[in-house]
Amino acid sequence: MSLRHALLGLLADHPASGYELTRTFEASLQQHAWHARHSQIYPELNKLADEGLLTVVGSGARNRRTYGLTDDGRAELQRWLLSESDSPGVRNEDVLRMFLIPALPPDDARTALERFAAEGQEKVGVLSGIRGRDESPLGFGQLAAEFGLRYYRMQVEWAHWAIEQFDDVAPAPEPGSQQSTA
């Protein structure tokens, strides 16, 4: 995903200023999907306008511009949404931590897994609030919120399962320790 497509998608819902788009990123996208700084958004809006994908539909005080999607912008968004992902690969720090968690002593692994479950449960609460704001499951952000809810519920369920796996196994001997044969 790119910032340009995130901006096109947000503007497909309704025209907005750079400030409003920045606030949307801060309130929802940044935490769950895509991080963008204020200093990145404005130059990208200018590029999109130069390419004819956006147009300025209104101006306000202090050079505030409201942008709207052009037909070419909508076509580019549609092209991107229907194309295969071109991401070079997944980078997920949580998955990396879970892959390496057996390197921890069992008690520390349980602590990390309990924290992982608690983080997932907290995110379920946040997304439940977002999901409850709009009755339509097809409203902007609603499908993503539902995906997030299911993902974080699975995270909680998986963490509890993983804790059970540690509980079912006798602790491994510490490296270099002597085991008694008596």
**pLDDT tens, residue by residue, 50-102:** 999 999 888 877 778 899 999 999 999 999 888 887 776 666 788 888 888 98
Predicted local confidence at residue 162, as pLDDT: 95
Q: Whole-model pTM?
A: 0.66
Q: Which of 82, 110, 134 is the last residue of a domain?
A: 82
Asked if residue 178 belongs to a domain, the reply is: no
Q: Which of 82, 117, 137 is the last residue of a domain?
A: 82
Asked if residue 177 belongs to a domain, the reply is: no
Total domains present in the chain: 2
Q: What is the pLDDT of residues 11-40, one digit of tens each?
A: 988 899 888 888 877 766 656 566 666 678
DSSP assignments along the chain, one per residue: --HHHHHHHHHHHS-EEHHHHHHHIIIIIHHHT----HHHHHHHHHHHHHTTSEEEEEE-GGG-EEEEE-HHHHHHHHHHHHSPP--S----HHHHHHHHGGGS-HHHHHHHHHHHHHHHHHHHHHHHHHHTT-S-TTSTTHHHHHHHHHHHHHHHHHHHHHHHHHHHSPPPPPTTPPPP--
Domain span including residue 142 = 93-168
Q: Which of 82, 116, 136 is the last residue of a domain?
A: 82
Q: What is the pLDDT of residues 135-145, one digit of tens each?
A: 666 666 778 88
Together in a domain, 110 and 41? no
